Amino acid sequence: MDHTFFLAMSYGATAIAIAAELVALALGRKRAWKHIDEERELEAQD
């Protein structure tokens, strides 16, 4: 039996899951800074 498919699906999915989490971490950081900038703008308007 050729096991390449099962190994590729396992390692491939793991790589995608880790990459997705790293992207989510970067997006979370970007979102946090965006909220801080919004607060700063509101404060400047006041």
Residues of this chain that bind another protein (CB under 8 A):
1, 3, 6-7, 9-11, 13-14, 17-18, 20-22, 24-25, 28-29, 31-33, 35-36, 39-40, 43
| Calpha distance 22→29 (Å, rounded) | 11
As measured in angstroms, the least distance from the Cβ of 37 to another protein is: 9
Q: How far is the CB of 23 from another protein (least distance, A)?
A: 12
CA distance 41 to 19: 33
How far apart, in whole angstroms, are the C-alpha atoms of residue 11 and residue 15? 6
At closest approach, how far in Å is the CB of 41 from another protein? 12
**What one-character DSSP code corresponds to residue 1?**
-
